[in-house]
Amino acid sequence: AQTVTQSQPEMSVQEAETVTLSCTYDTSESNYYLFWYKQPPSRQMILVIRQEAYKQQNATENRFSVNFQKAAKSFSLKISDSQLGDTAMYFCAYHSGGGADGLTFGKGTHLIIQP
């Protein structure tokens, strides 16, 4: 079974700084997908970014980018020019290449952006 590990339970940075959230995963599959979801205080789960394992290029979405290291099984999220609205829980998630399964989530990182 796949596992996802987020080693930083909580992080705090100043507004406008850049922050990187770590995620590692364990799998024997070669084809899979990785996601970062954001959960603000409203508890809504919001997709931040998606990465296909067979693509070498790191995904980016505006201020959000990932550093995907397939050999190291690492999938970190970088948030540039952080904003107060980025304060949330961030979950790393894995989707099996087999497809017939739900997402496997890490335990999350609570990110606090200080004014």
- Minimum CB–partner distance for residue 106 and other proteins (Å): 8
- Minimum CB–partner distance for residue 78 and other proteins (Å): 20
- HSE (side-chain half, CA atoms, 13 Å) at 18: 8
- Minimum CB–partner distance for residue 15 and other proteins (Å): 26
Angle value at C-alpha 60, between 18 and 12, nearest 5 degrees: 25
- CA-CA-CA-CA torsion sign (104, 20, 77, 82): positive
Q: Closest CB to other proteins among 19 and 92?
A: 92
**Cβ contacts of residue 32 below 8 Å, gap of 6+?**
2, 53, 94, 95, 96, 97
- Minimum CB–partner distance for residue 21 and other proteins (Å): 16
Which residues make up the interface to other proteins (CB under 8 A)?
31-33, 35, 37, 42-47, 50, 52, 91, 95-108
